[in-house]
Structure 1
Amino acid sequence: MGAPPLTVHSSDTGPQAAGWCVADGCSSDAHACPCGYAGHPSIACTCSPGQADRYRRHISGPLLDRVDMMLELPAQTVEGFLTIDDGIEGTSLSIRRRVMSACSFRAAREVDTKATTMERANLGKKHPRVLEAQAGLTPRATLLVRRFLQHDGAGGRSHGRLVSLSRTIADLDLSMAVDEQHVAEAAGLHLKDRASWLR
């Protein structure tokens, strides 16, 4: 019931989860300050700016490079999590259908591009330019990836995560090419709060 935690999800190549075309992964969460109430709509944070900054700096840049997505979740009221929303089941079903459609599209795309399971597993070991080409980045999308990384001060692992996440978003759009829109959305998920956590 504290402040909105920063929830992170990181995945690596592994067997498919039942019913979903996603790899095994892990998720964790962290509050933005020691007391846990920074950003809370009704409870005041008791931490000084210096305390919050020191708390955030415990999460290192190399660790953030390994995170696929960073999502900020708002604090939830008691009424909110006790209320039964009849629309949740329908929303979950529509999301599942979209994900499975993207899985089918990806499988067909990889047949066309002759991508193998071993190649997918070794994407992170490839030269950045090879990775960008295999992911299908347009020239403008490639420039945008580099601009985001330079601005953020991210490392090589972050490049691979950003390109892979952009490719996944393009698959959800059933797009063979990864364009600027896909990269911008991926950067918002992958790099969004990195600067604030490293200040």
Structure 2
Amino acid sequence: MRALPVRIDAVLVQAAIAAALSFAHLHDLALAAGQDGWKAWAYPVSVDLLLVAAWRRLRSGEAKAAGWCWFIVALTASLGANVATAGLLDLNAVPDWLRILVAGWPAIAFLGGTLLAHGAIADSSAAECESAAGPVASEAPSPAPELTAAAPQSAPPSTPQVPPALVTLARKVADEHRARTGTPIDTSTLRARLGVPLPLAEAISAQLS
């Protein structure tokens, strides 16, 4: 079998180098701030994961304000470590305020990651509820203008004639109302559900009783 040629993407190589440098700067800053051992290595992982979570939220197109907020927080932490370890800060004498920021970062990262994750779950749950409510709403009986228009125009206004198909639809609505509430449907409710004039609704109610 002929081996496929390997193509090196310069952009990916550049991204890998930049990520490695940023990772090392965050590790060095955490180590200088008193976070030794595995904790110093966990800080850059935490910052990068928060960046990825915020970027995914921005790409999803939902709750972009939260995505931008935590993306800027994580980016500031990454850039701050890069600048601090570039010779502008004496890593042998880290100021107290920076030690406080480094020590408090795990709580900030945990809060941001939790809000981003739970925000996505809430958004998807709302979408599922809306999609589930759609078919139910479509099953509700809708007004039948074509059946209403079929009523003879020559009938007296006080005693309108009701098409059999409209009576069947009204009976279905009345049965549904009784099953849901346990009480017979009244004329005003029947009129609202069918979208018919009041005289016609009264005539239908008379046939249902």
Q: Tell me which interval the TM-score lies in, with the shorter structure as reference length.
A: under 0.3
**Greater relative CO (CA pairs within 8 A, separation 6+):** 1
- Which structure: larger Rg? 2
Of Structure 1 and Structure 2, the greater helix share is in: 2
TM-score, length of structure 1 as denominator length: 0.23
Of Structure 1 and Structure 2, the greater strand share is in: 1
TM-score, length of structure 2 as denominator length: 0.22
